[in-house]
Amino acid sequence: MGFSLVSSRAGTVCAMRLLVVEDEVDLAEAIAVGLRRQGYAVDVANDVAGAVERLSVSAYDLVTLDLNLPDGDGLELAARLRSDPMLAPLDGESAPRILMLTARDGVGERVTGLDQGADDYLVKPFDFAELSARVRSLLRRDAGRSGAVLTVGELELDSARFEATRRGRLLDLTAKEFALLRYFMAHAGEVLSQERLLEHVWDENADPLTNTVRVTVGTLRRKLTRDDDVEPPIETVIGAGYRLRPDLLAPAGS
């Protein structure tokens, strides 16, 4: 049916939800806003307790982790994240990548951080562009995550460039539509419930009682649909959710 996930692994879930753990409220919000503008769903915790609470109920792809937290040490949280079954990934998903953000710049401290479970280490102060690049790099390490090029028939999405095309034509998508399309493409052919989409594409600030998922799916469907389509590529499965149809996106002649 023309479906492939370039540089991916079968069964990999491509959620794009991040957790920012940072006790400096202004810095935490600045990081979150910047990452949200790039299409990620981002939650924020300002201490260990808040981080543990969120990690115990939600699956994250990546955690940015400050080391100096008011109620504990980020190093201990990193080690716990790797070993505590209460913080285990949900639904068979892989453990989140950990990017430590800290003013501790000694070589020994960096080594300790990496030994405690961090995947990368960024010293404060830092430029957001570098933070963003390191996030993309970490997510690329697991096939099928944000850096991979997703292809479903004549539909292609490049997360590194924030571009999506159909038949080579660039699609004009908002950040949230782009993130939603990325999730649909990673699960092409599957029926995705509104609750599942809300969990993986939106952050904890999204109101589950609103129609935000329905509205965003509707605008994305209109932007994907061509005049010569027999049916829209995204269908509504009544009572169950939505599905991206690979068979409706097969290149001509396939």
Indicate the helix (H) or strand (E) that contains 213.
helix 212-224
Confidence class of residue 15 from pLDDT cuts 50, 70 and 90? Answer: very low
Q: Classify domain 3-8+146-248 at the CATH topology level.
A: Arc Repressor Mutant, subunit A (1.10.10)
Q: pLDDT band at residue 3, thresholds of 50, 70 and 90?
A: very low
Distance (Å, whole) CA 74 – CA 188: 37
The fourth-level CATH superfamily of domain 17-140 is Response regulator (3.40.50.2300)
Whole-Å CA distances, 188 to 121, 138, 191, 243: 34, 24, 8, 7
Q: What is the pLDDT of residue 81?
A: 84
Determine what percent of the chain is predicted with pLDDT higher than 90.
37
For the sheet containing 41-45, what is the strand order?
41-45, 17-21, 62-66, 97-102, 120-123
- DSSP-assigned states of every residue in 117-185: T-SEEEESS--HHHHHHHHHHHHHTSTTSTTSEEEETTEEEETTTTEEEETTEEP---HHHHHHHHHHH
Residue 12 has pLDDT above 50, yes or no: no
**According to the model, what pLDDT value does residue 38 have?**
82
Reported as type and span, the H/E element at residue 194 is helix 194-201
- H/E stretch holding 243 reads strand 241-244
The predicted model gives 51-55 an average pLDDT of 90
Determine the pLDDT at residue 250: 78
pLDDT per position as a tens digit, 230-246: 899 999 999 999 999 99
Residue-level pLDDT at 93: 53
Average pLDDT over the chain reads 81
Per the model's pLDDT, the better-predicted residue between 2 and 189 turns out to be 189
Q: For residue 219, what are the contacts with CB-CB under 8 A and spacing of at least 6? A: 174, 177
The domains of the chain are located at: 3-8+146-248, 17-140
Question: Pairing between strand 72-73 and 68-69?
Answer: antiparallel
Strands lying side by side in the sheet with 149-152: 3-5, 149-152, 155-158, 163-166, 169-170
The 10s digit of each residue's pLDDT in 87-129 is 755 444 567 889 999 887 777 777 877 777 789 999 988 999 9
